[in-house]
Structure 1
C-alpha cells in the first residue's frame, strides 16, 4: 500500500474519533443512548478500514482500466480495415515528417489514426522516401494500404518532370497532357505572359524561362499558376548563381546569357561539353574574321521552322527567319530552348580554348569534337555523315 493510501486511512480514522468525541456529554438520562451510540461507533470503527480498502480497490481498479485502455491504444492504435472507398486528394508538403504525413491522412479521413500510420511507417525504411506532392487516395482505408499508395508512383497526381532543353511548345503540350488543363489555356497565357512574373530581361518572351524541374501542380491549378511556378523556379536558380551579377562582370546582358545557354543546351550531348560549346560561341562572336560571326548552328534553323533534329537540310538553310544563324550574324533574337543550370553556368563561364568549330560526330554516343581549323572541321562533318548513314 502506498504512502498516500496510508495517509488516507489515518485521516479517515481521525474523522471517526472526532465524531465519537463530539457525541459525549449530557446528563444521566443520556447514558442509555450514549451506550447504544458507543456500540454503533465501535462497529463504524471496525468497518472503516474495510470501506477504505473497497474505495481504494475501486480507484486503483478504475485507474488500471484507464491505463490499460491507454496502453492498448498505443500498442494497437485504431485503424480502418480494408482498401477504403471513394477518392480523396491529399497533399504531402515538402519537409513533412512521417508523423505529419499521418496527421494529414487522419484529417482527410484516409486513416483512422495517425498513430496507426506511424506504427506501420516507422518499420518500413521506404517511408522516408515519400516525396512531396498530391496523392490520390481512398477514404477510410487501412494505414498499411495508405502507406502503399503513398509509395506508388501511380498515386501521384499532376507531377511532371521536364528535362533540360525542351522548347516552350513541347512544355505546354506535356503540361496539358499531365494536368488535364486544355492546351489552348496554356497557349493563351504563353502568348500574353504578363502575369507570370518574367524578369525584365526576358523582353516578354517565355522561351528560355520555363525552368526544367519537377513540378507538383495542385489539382485545381490554372494554366497561369502552373507556368508562373516554372518562371519562379527559373528566377530562383538565376538568383542562386547570381546570373545578373555574373553577366555584368562578363560584360554581357542577362538576356544574352539565357540565349547562349539555350544554344549550348540544344547543341551539347553532355554537360562536360557545355563550357567548350560556350567558348566556341564566344570566340566566334568576338572574332576579327567577320564571317565567323555567323554561328551557323543547325539548331537555330530547326527552331525557326518548328522542326526537330540535329542536321538542317539545304532547303532549311534558305529560311529567312532571324533565327537562321547561317544567314544572320550574331545571336538569334531569343532563346531556342529552356536551359538548365549547367548550361546557364557554361554561358557565364566558357572553357578556355581557341576553338571556333565543333561537330557532334557521333550523336548516339554523344561524341563532340572541337577545333579551330576549318579543314579539320570539314573532316569532322564527314565523320558525322558516315555515322548518320550507318544509323
Structure 2
C-alpha cells in the first residue's frame, strides 16, 4: 500500500513539475513573444512611477497582455527598480521584454514634444515638434525667432509641460559670440553664461538639456566636447603638417569651415591653404578678413571693400603672412579632420563655380579662367536671366 501511495505521489509530483515547467515556458513566451499592441503609442513614465502602476497602465492601454507577467519578467531581469522618466515610443507588437528594455534603458525620450533651439551662422530659431507614434514622424507645430518674435501660443502651452524635451542644436561655423548671445535668448535656460569662450572651442553638436539648465554648464560641456574631438583627431593627424599645436590646427579648421559648405570639398580646401603655406604664399581668404572687421559679432551682410582687403589687421590674410592669431568660428569635427588629414593635391587656388561648390586650379592662368567663368555666372544672375 505504501508503495502505491509513494508511486502515486511521485506521479503527481512529476505531473506538477511538468505543469510548472509548461507554465514557466508559457510565461516566457508571453513575456518575450509579440505583444497585442495594434498601433504604436507614445508612453509617458512619470518621475517616481512604480512598476506596478506602469504595468497596470500598459495593460489598460492594450500594450501588454498581462500586468502580472510584465512585473515578474522585469523583476526576473533585475530591472524592476530601473524605470526611467520620459516619453517612449512603443511600436506595434512590442514584446513585454522589449517594452521593459525601452522603459529602463538609456532614459533618453524617444517621442512626445521636443523644443529644438537651433543656433546657426545667420541667426537662431526655436522649433517645436511632436512625434506622431503611428507614422513615426515629427510634425512641426511652431517655429519662431526669439530675437524678433514673441513666443507663439503653441510654444507657451507646451514649454511648461514636464514631459517636453529641450534640445540645443549648434551648427558648424557659428562664432562663440553668436552662440552665447543666442543662448541668452533661450528662456528655458538659467544663469549667466559667464566669460565668453575662446573662439573655436565650442563643439557644433546636439545637446539635450532640461528646463532650468545652466547656460554656463552647457557652454562648459560644449568646450569639453570640442576638446575631446580635437585631442582625438590631433592624435591621428598626418605627418609633416605645419602646426605647432592643436590650437593652430583649429585655426585652419575654422577657415576650412567658413570656406566651403560642401562636405567632400573640405580636404581639398585644406590642401590649398597648406600648399600655400608651404610655398610661402599668403592665404588670401575672405572669411578671415570679415572676422577682422566683425570680431565674430554678427554677419557682415555685404561684400568686402577694396580698402578692407588692403587694410592691415591681424586677420587680413591678404596682408599678413601665415595664419591669423585665432580661429574665426567654431569648426565641426569634419573640418578639423580635414585640417589634420587633408587631401594631397597640387592646387593653389579655388573659386566658386556656381553650383555651391568650387573650381580648383593648380596655376594662376587656370584660376583666372575659373574666375572669369564665375564672374559671368554672377553677371547672369544679376541680370535676372
Please give the range of the TM-score, normalised by the shorter of the 2 chains. 0.5 to 0.7
- The 3 A distance-change label for structure 1 pair 124 and 353 is same
Aligned-CA RMSD value: 4.2
SS at match of 2:359: strand
Among residues 217, 222, 233, which one is paired with 2:225 in the alignment?
233
Instruction: State the partner residue of 2:174.
Output: 166
- The 3 A distance-change label for structure 1 pair 298 and 133 is farther
Residues 217-260 of structure 1 show CA distances to partners (whole Å, capped at 9, x for unaligned) of 2322222101011111112323443x145277645221121111
CA–CA separation in structure 2 for the residues paired with 1:329 and 1:270: 27
CA–CA separation in structure 2 for the residues paired with 1:231 and 1:115: 44
Shift of 1:132: 4.2
Maintained 8 Å contact 2:349/2:360? yes
Instruction: State the partner residue of 1:50.
Output: none
SS at match of 1:216: strand
Shift of 1:280: 0.5
Instruction: State the partner residue of 1:39.
Output: none
Higher helix share: 1
Matching of residue 283 in structure 1 with residue 275 in structure 2: yes
Maintained 8 Å contact 1:298/1:311? no
Maintained 8 Å contact 1:264/1:277? yes
Instruction: State the partner residue of 1:328.
Output: 320
Among residues 284, 294, 301, which one is paired with 1:296 in the alignment?
284
Instruction: State the partner residue of 1:361.
Output: 353
- The 3 A distance-change label for structure 1 pair 251 and 326 is closer
Number of aligned residue pairs: give it: 267
Residues 123-181 of structure 1 show CA distances to partners (whole Å, capped at 9, x for unaligned) of 448997x95499779xxxxxxx9979x97776644312122111222222332333555
CA–CA separation in structure 2 for the residues paired with 1:385 and 1:256: 34
CA–CA separation in structure 1 for the residues paired with 2:219 and 2:201: 10
Residues 247-296 of structure 1 show CA distances to partners (whole Å, capped at 9, x for unaligned) of 77645221121111111111013111111111111110010xx4x2x111
What TM-score do the two structures reach when normalised by structure 1? 0.57
Instruction: State the partner residue of 2:370.
Output: 380
CA–CA separation in structure 2 for the residues paired with 1:251 and 1:136: 48
Residues 355-389 of structure 1 show CA distances to partners (whole Å, capped at 9, x for unaligned) of 11111232xx2120111211222232233333333
Which has the larger Rg? 1
Among residues 339, 342, 359, which one is paired with 2:331 in the alignment?
339
Among residues 244, 247, 258, which one is paired with 1:255 in the alignment?
247
- The 3 A distance-change label for structure 1 pair 168 and 320 is same
List alignment gaps of at least 5 residues for structure 2. Answer: 10-34, 64-88, 115-130, 142-157, 159-163
Matching of residue 223 in structure 1 with residue 215 in structure 2: yes
SS at match of 2:195: helix
Q: How does 1:1-391 map to 2 (within 5 A)?
A: 104-105=45-46, 107=48, 113=54, 115-117=56-58, 119-120=62-63, 122-124=90-92, 132=109, 156-181=164-189, 185-186=192-193, 188-190=194-196, 193=197, 206-241=198-233, 243-244=234-235, 246=237, 250=241, 252=243, 253-287=245-279, 290=280, 292=281, 294-306=282-294, 307-308=299-300, 311-362=303-354, 365-389=355-379, 390-391=381-382
Maintained 8 Å contact 2:238/2:341? no
Maintained 8 Å contact 1:302/1:309? no
Maintained 8 Å contact 2:43/2:90? no
- The 3 A distance-change label for structure 1 pair 147 and 123 is closer
CA–CA separation in structure 2 for the residues paired with 1:136 and 1:181: 17
SS at match of 2:178: helix
List alignment gaps of at least 5 residues for structure 1. Answer: 8-74, 77-97, 138-144, 194-205
Maintained 8 Å contact 1:262/1:336? yes
